[in-house]
Structure 1
Amino acid sequence: MKKSLAELIGTFSLVLFGCGAASISGISSTGPAGIGLLGISFAFGLAVVVMAYTIGPISGCHINPAITISMLVAGKIKAGDAVGYIIAQFVGATLGAGVLYLIQGGAPGFTMGEWALGSNGWGAGYLGAYNTTAAFITEAVMTFLFLTVIFNTTSRIGNSTMAGLAIGLTLVLIHLVAIPVTGTSVNPARSFGPAIFAGGLALKQLWLFIVAPIVGGIVAALVYKGIFED
């Protein structure tokens, strides 16, 4: 229960800080503004760094169903714990998006447009207007690289004291590349929370941000097990 609660709080924080930076301070459906792409990238990355050192000793700080499923495939978490983690992550992301919605609703003239609250998406009208193939490849490959860093930095031969920083900085790099394409998910829960409130195209396109990160995470687990695991 403590582990699941830690995952809920961690995912809540990731969505509130990351999506909050994007939707309040950083970027709109038409392009960057405010803190811009770099600022949003660091908001997500720093949120992971902070949570890694806060809840990492309790739950391992997955705060991402793709990570939990990948860890399950690699045999690093039990199925029962994985189910509890995933439920907590989706609940935390939804609560984080709900709080963000309440905050943004307090702004004069606020309206829920397409892809509101930092929702992920692709295609005409969304940032770089990349197609479905580009969006899927981006999400799957970036998640694969993200999990590769996570597996190896947290392994027995990795530097565990620096793992949180390395993982957070990897997420910064991922956002620097992927934001114009999909807004960057690599995390089904992070996409789920905002999409539930935004509805419309954000909800219709949610499937890609569930499937692609999970595919990338599973491939990373298989590569780690087959090649890198000591």
Structure 2
Amino acid sequence: MATSQKQLKIDITSDNICPWCYVGKRRLEKALSQIDKSNVNVSISWYPYELDHGLPQDGSLLKMDRYKQKFGEARVKQMVPQMTETGKQEGINFSFGGKIGSTFDSHRLLHYVKQQENGEKKQNDLINILFRAYFEDEQDLSDHQVLTKAAEQIGFNGNEIKQFLQSDQYKKEVQHEINQSQQQGISGVPHFRINDKIELSGAQDPQQFIQAFRKAGVNV
């Protein structure tokens, strides 16, 4: 008789312009690679967060200018080399040129993708493309052309995506999820909730994730 699979449900609250969210995703993947997938059913869902409420809803700013406004020049001088080095360790080539704007529409696109067939996998694939586009290719995630191209890379029709982005579809749902995260006390990202009971904040090392999996009842 076949043994029933253990469930490993991971809910991730993240913003697409958060460098630690990109790092955290890579470290989570390292931890997941150590799991025997024949005995464990892993499901991952992404939830929206807006890290910088001051970003323009229409248009964008130079990324480095915004960092300096927000953190001050001295701190940015420290942060950039540290982040670059951390990225290298995870196979990420952080680049800090380009523009930054509201991430709300990119979250709407992720919500849209999740509603489609095989949506969980597509959402995860799209997250990878958005992170790479913003952090490594210096693309602006508030630009609908960038978002449309990203969706096309995972098999979506470009014209349909353009129409969706120009509409109001899922605006209320995404705003509700952002509000819900705040009500749950999530004040920073990435935030990971494992099997609805174990919570981790920040880009933890793979070993921390493995300990959390064990606490959640999944042997690794």
TM-score computed with the length of structure 1 as normaliser:
0.30
Return the structure number with greater strand share.
2
Return the structure number with greater helix share.
1
TM-score computed with the length of structure 2 as normaliser:
0.31
